[in-house]
Amino acid sequence: MDIVERLRSWLNYDSNDYIEPAIADIGEAADEIERLRSRLENPTEEMLEAGRAANRLVADNALGLACIAPDAAWRVMANMILSRSE
């Protein structure tokens, strides 16, 4: 069972007998959150390339959409450019 499932399972308990194991799971969850936060703040080159590939895919789809729905295509492209500048 992963940490998310274990944390959700604690929502069903009303007894104080489960406080220590719940605290241990919460500590493990906090460690996992910190690990993920660190990876987001310091992305690897592979993560950056995956993001660029996703942006290319969106741009390609937006250009294809321009033939059918120009207003929607402009909105997609503007959102992509604005999100890149943030």
Q: Once rounded to an integer, what is the mean pLDDT over residues 9-31?
A: 77
Model's pTM, two decimal places? 0.43
Which long-range CB contacts under 8 A does 54-62 form with residues at least 24 apart?
A: 55/80, 55/84
Using pLDDT thresholds of 50, 70 and 90, give the confidence band for residue 65.
low
Write down the residue that tokens 């592979």 correspond to.
Answer: 46
User: Which of 10-19, 26-35, 55-64: highest mean pLDDT?
Assistant: 26-35
Q: Which of 38, 79, 83, 86 is nearest to 61 (CA)?
A: 79
Contact indicator for 24, 49 with CB cutoff of 8 Å: no
